[in-house]
Amino acid sequence: MLGVLADEWTPLIVQQSLLGATRYAEFAARLPISHSVLSRRLAAMTTDDLLERVRYQDNPPRFEYTATGRARSLWPVLTSIWHWERSWVPDHPEPLPVIRHAVCGAACSPELTCRNCRRRVSTGDLTAHWGPSGSWARSIPEVSTRRRSHRDRAHGASDLFPHTMSILGNRWTFAIMVAAFVGTTRFSEFAGQLGAPPASLADRLQILVSNGVLDGDYRLTPKGDAVLPIIVTALDWAQRWFVADEGPAVIVTHMGCGTDFVGTLTCDRCNAALRGNDIERGWHSTRSSAKFGGAQ
């Protein structure tokens, strides 16, 4: 998950793919991304089985990039990002449109719910520990495996979702947030668990503090607590698509019902489980709306 999703551009390209973009020119028109970075991302996402490269013209050869099942199943992560930015980040150039549940017709807030007992959950309701295939050493991707260059880094991606990209756009920051959710608060504990270079760790902790996600003692703030659905849905996606023979990497337990936690997003108005095809929102302006086409 960290190797594939911890990047400024990948979630945004998946988002646009689910909203109907398939051709290079469409991605380039919808995102403030350079041609060289877009070409590298599309190639990497094809290798990671997020996109399928399909020829639609022979002379000259032209290709489309269509979302795979792996990419379509990211809709809960994208929905959680949208809701969190809309709720906690007021400095967007244009206010983010509401999320509308097509089934009940209401503007809604997606809520993280236990699939087993149907109760809504928050940070204090869950516990997590390493499973048979889990460890920090195994979970943090090596620097050499990342396909980004310094030229890939741009303000354009972070401007679209400024605070989310400060969390998701870097493997160390994402890992720090996961560690914070399981109770890590001291610099020495973060360093010992994650193995991050001290300078990188200090820099990323400061970013999270300045964005109001952690307080000065490196504890989750209410804004940080509200990131939980993003973390949980990303973890659920990872354990669905990257299966280890030994068993799961992380085991999450819902203390309310005592079972292994499987999260689902529900509509806060009608309490029905949300589906990608039933979620409407405006992505490009407050006057337009779209669904995650084909999302499951």
Q: What pLDDT score does 296 carry?
A: 60
Q: What is the pLDDT along the chain (296 residues), one digit of tens a residue?
A: 888 888 889 999 999 999 999 999 999 999 999 999 999 999 999 999 999 999 998 888 899 999 999 999 999 999 999 999 999 988 777 778 899 999 999 999 999 999 999 999 999 999 999 999 999 888 887 653 444 444 444 555 556 777 888 887 888 998 999 999 989 999 999 999 999 999 999 999 999 999 999 999 999 999 999 999 999 999 999 999 999 999 999 999 999 999 999 999 999 999 999 999 999 864 433 334 556 655 66
Separation in Å, CA 263 to CA 114, 255, 271, 284: 5, 13, 14, 29
Residue 257 DSSP symbol: T
Q: Write out the two tokens for 200.
A: 């990188």
Alpha-carbon dihedral sign for residues 212, 168, 7, 278: negative
Taking alpha carbons only, the member of 235, 206, 275 closest to residue 6 is 235
Q: What pLDDT score does 142 carry?
A: 67
What is the dotted CATH code of the domain comprising 75-291?
A: 1.10.10.10
Q: Record the pTM.
A: 0.89
- What digits encode the pLDDT tens for the residues 72-87? 999 999 999 999 999 9
Taking alpha carbons only, the member of 266, 280, 89 closest to residue 167 is 89
Give the 3-state secondary structure of residue 191.
helix
Residue 120 is which amino acid?
R
